[in-house]
Amino acid sequence: MPKNHTTSKKRGITHKPLRKTMKHHQENTKTPLVIGLIYAKWCGHCQALEPEWKSMKQNILKKKSVSPRQIVEIEESDPDKDAKIEDINKTFHGGKLQANGYPTIFKNVGGKIEYYEGGRTAVEMENWVLGKTAEKRPVHQKTWRNYFFGGFQSGTLTPKPTPRPKPSKPSRSSKPSKPSRDSK
């Protein structure tokens, strides 16, 4: 038996010594979920998002999916803005948090930053935060190729569905109908 193994006298079980390394610690420690919003008070998009953000925040706090300290809101004119962003960057292993426009909505996924690019309703943001994915809608790009080369849907080789013709109604004309010759 190797020197570093020990044997339990009662049961005859062999144990390996546990080696705790930084790598082992990082693999077995989950990074807590952090949800954030970087916004500016003067931004019209941020002002429009504010009621939906508050509604989403209340919903996830009611469900106890996250705690209040896991939600970060950073205002553009905040003097501690850079320090707050730097603190968040220290907790993430990959990528740096950046405000590339307002509003910037983000969360960490496995220690990496993920930016939100979905709809701006409370339900859509809540589903994204909780990891629920909505039904993916196909994205059809309108390009000049589609217009000039036969009306195919973008990215497919199937023709666009043709609309069904509407049933025609009998027209009412102002002219009286002529009597047929057989009716005499």
Whether 47 is in a domain gets the answer yes
The closest alpha carbon to 128, from 69, 68, 66, belongs to: 66
The boundaries of the domain holding residue 40 are 29-129
From first to last of its 184 residues, the chain has per-residue pLDDT tens of 555 555 555 566 665 555 555 555 445 456 678 899 999 999 999 999 999 999 999 999 998 878 888 899 999 999 999 888 888 888 776 678 888 889 999 998 777 888 999 999 999 999 999 887 544 444 444 555 555 555 544 555 555 566 677 777 666 655 555 666 665 5
Full-model pTM: 0.56
How high is the pLDDT of residue 91?
Answer: 75
Residue that has been written with the tokens 């939600």 in this structure: 71
Q: Can you tell me the distance from the alpha carbon of 64 to that of 81, in angstroms, rounded to the nearest whole number? A: 27
Number of domain units in the chain: 1
Has residue 180 been placed in a domain? no
Domain assignment present for 69:
yes
**CATH number for 58:** 3.40.30.10
Bridge partners (DSSP) listed for residue 71: 35
Residue pointed to by tokens 């010594």: 17
**Residues 46-95 pLDDT 10s:** 999 999 999 999 999 998 878 888 899 999 999 999 888 888 888 776 67
* Residue 75 lies inside a defined structural domain of this protein: yes
Is 163 inside a domain boundary? no
CA distance 127 to 169: 48
* 98 within a domain of the structure (yes/no): yes
**Residue 16 domain-assigned?**
no
**Domain membership flag for residue 176:** no
